[in-house]
Amino acid sequence: MRIVIANDHGAVALKHELAAFLRSAGHEVTNLGVDEETRVDYPDKAREACLEYLSGGYDFGVVLCGTGIGISIAANKIDGIRCALVHDAFTARLAREHNDANFLALGGRVNYAEKPSDILTAFMAAKYEGGRHAERLAKIAALE
Active site residue 9: no
* Spatial separation of the C-alpha atoms in residues 107 and 86, rounded to whole Å: 9
From 47, 138, 43, select the one nearest 99 (Cα to Cα).
138
Residue among 9, 50, 83, 98 flagged as catalytic: 98
Length of the chain measured in residues: 144
From 68, 73, 66, 54, select the one nearest 123 (Cα to Cα).
68
Residue among 65, 83, 87, 133 flagged as catalytic: 65
Q: How far apart are the first and last CA of the chain?
A: 28
Active site residue 65: yes
15 Cβ contact list (under 8 Å, min separation 6): 5, 6, 7, 31, 33, 35, 64, 108
- Tell me if 61 sits within 8 A of 120, measured CB to CB: no
The residues assigned a catalytic role are: 65, 98
